[in-house]
Amino acid sequence: MNLHVNEIKLENERVNIFTEEQEMDVQATGTMVVDSDHYQFVYLLDDGEFHQLRFVQETWPMLKEYKDKEWYLYGKVKLDNFTEELQFLLENIEGNYNYGKDFTESVESVFEL
């Protein structure tokens, strides 16, 4: 199932994420990937099956601003390795047109790579 981030709030030095969909009882996998066709960063979640927490392009400035903070889904589920995974992807995307030129340039622009 795709979960679409619709709210990101910084509270007490941690980032709380909320989705359009109803709250789910899931666990963090510590893994983030990209969907370059849809310009999204995707954090993987698990509850016996995998779910995708999707960060659309409009959320990227907040990803950049808060990337060094701890991230929590619904204020409860700590998204393990969030910062490390995001940083790894940014380093891999920079100058790499295998993701598609437009996607790569968009990421480079927003994250100032």
Question: Which pTM was predicted?
Answer: 0.94
Residue 29 belongs to some domain of the structure = yes
Residue 48 in any domain: the answer is: yes
Question: Which residues pair with residue 27 across a beta bridge?
Answer: 46
Residue range of the domain that includes 92: 2-106
In a domain, 113, yes or no: no
Overall domain count for the chain = 1
Res 73: pLDDT = 97
Burial class (CB in 10 A: 0-12, 13-18, 19+), 40: buried
**In a structure prediction context, what are the per-residue pLDDT tens digits for the chain, which is 113 residues long?**
999 999 999 999 999 999 999 999 999 999 999 999 999 999 999 999 999 999 999 999 999 999 999 999 999 999 999 999 999 999 999 999 999 999 999 999 999 99
